[in-house]
């Protein structure tokens, strides 16, 4: 793989992209896209494929522009990244990010007007985070959580209806917590944010169990897997509060979104869908060994 191609791919955070797809699958399940008979009992997969593609494009565009806006800081703290290292110019990164966001919005409008409008609002929230709110201790994590909640809503909008809106609080809380933890990736010393994140993780698990209707036993294995994946590295990062351990906790938090979404989906569809969604996890883990998650 050429150095320039690898740099452009790194800007898009390939390991994180399956988590965006998982948001959409969970949203589709909440919208009733998958009936009780199984994940194959639907007449048309095109809207689902479009929304997954739109979500991936929006996520990729967001993280590319995040690096564009962080270029000056990265020249000091992370000079090896594609833009500060000079492999990718700031202008090209900006154009790539803007193009990806535009394509994501356009694809969303081909599914439903409401899907397109959700994508527009999501894009505005992405730009707000990248350019401004991430610098703020409270507003930044909250803004990032809103972005994930809107991504889930993008999946829910497949039929042009907004149902099970109570579930939006789950990605809002969880991603806010992960973002809190990430504040210590460079310098460490963030035990208090880690404690708060741990409390929010517990709250997220309670919401997943409380919101779903009757499939407690089917949901439980996915919830347990999710809890193990997020709490083990978080506890280690609290105990040995080093940048390395914090980065591992953040990486686990980002990748575990797949497990969280699988737990949500199973509560409103079937176990088979949850198992299929779990297949995204090894893909993310494999990509995370090649490309950085943060």
How far apart are the C-alpha atoms of 172 and 178, rounded to whole Å?
A: 10
**Per-residue pLDDT band at 293 (split at 50, 70, 90):** confident
36-61 pLDDT tens trace: 544 554 557 899 999 999 999 999 99
How would CATH label the architecture of 11-284?
A: Orthogonal Bundle (1.10)
**CA neighbor of 180 nearest in space, from 204, 205, 128, 145:** 145
Q: What would the mean pLDDT of 233-247 be, rounded to a whole number?
A: 91
256-283 pLDDT tens trace: 999 999 999 999 988 999 999 999 999 9
- Asked if 158 and 115 touch (Cβ cutoff 8 Å), the reply is yes
pLDDT at 292: 85
How far, CA to CA in Å, does 42 sit from each of 61, 89, 162?
30, 45, 20
137-149 pLDDT tens trace: 889 999 999 999 9
Residues 6+ apart with CB under 8 A from 137: 183
159-208 pLDDT tens trace: 999 999 999 999 999 999 998 888 766 666 778 889 999 999 999 999 99
**CA neighbor of 51 nearest in space, from 79, 78, 31, 75:** 31
Q: What would the mean pLDDT of 89-116 be, rounded to a whole number?
A: 98
How far, CA to CA in Å, does 216 sit from each of 29, 101, 184, 266?
16, 37, 36, 9
How far apart are the C-alpha atoms of 164 and 143, rounded to whole Å?
A: 21
- Predicted TM-score (pTM) of the model is 0.94
The DSSP 8-state label assigned to residue 144 in this structure reads H
- Asked if 131 and 97 touch (Cβ cutoff 8 Å), the reply is no
């Amino acid at each position: 793989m050429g150095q320039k191609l690898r740099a452009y791919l790194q800007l898009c955070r390939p390991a994180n992209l399956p988590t965006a797809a998982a948001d959409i699958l969970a949203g589709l399940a909440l919208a009733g896209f998958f009936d009780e008979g199984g994940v194959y009992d639907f007449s048309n997969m095109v809207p689902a494929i479009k929304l997954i593609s739109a979500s991936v494009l929006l996520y990729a565009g967001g993280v590319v522009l995040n690096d564009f806006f962080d270029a000056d800081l990265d020249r000091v703290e992370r000079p090896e990244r594609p833009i500060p290292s000079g492999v990718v110019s700031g202008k090209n990164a900006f154009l790539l990010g803007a193009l990806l966001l535009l394509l994501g919005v356009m694809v969303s409008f081909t599914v439903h007007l409401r899907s397109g409008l959700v994508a527009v609002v999501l894009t505005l929230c992405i730009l707000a985070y990248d350019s401004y709110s991430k610098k703020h201790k409270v507003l930044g994590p909250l803004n990032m959580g809103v972005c994930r909640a809107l991504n889930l809503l993008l999946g829910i909008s497949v039929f042009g209806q907004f149902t099970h809106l109570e579930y939006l609080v789950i990605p809002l809380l969880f991603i806010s917590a992960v973002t809190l933890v990430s504040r210590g990736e460079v310098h460490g010393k963030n035990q208090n944010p880690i404690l708060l994140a741990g409390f929010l993780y517990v709250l997220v698990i309670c919401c997943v169990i409380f919101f779903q209707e009757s499939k407690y036993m089917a949901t439980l294995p996915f919830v347990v897997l999710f809890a193990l994946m997020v709490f083990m590295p978080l506890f280690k990062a609290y105990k040995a509060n080093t940048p390395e351990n914090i980065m591992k906790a953040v990486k686990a938090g980002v990748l575990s979104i797949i497990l969280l979404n699988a737990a949500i989906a199973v509560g409103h569809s079937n176990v088979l869908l949850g198992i299929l969604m779990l297949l995204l996890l090894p893909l993310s883990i494999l990509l995370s060994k090649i490309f950085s998650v943060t």
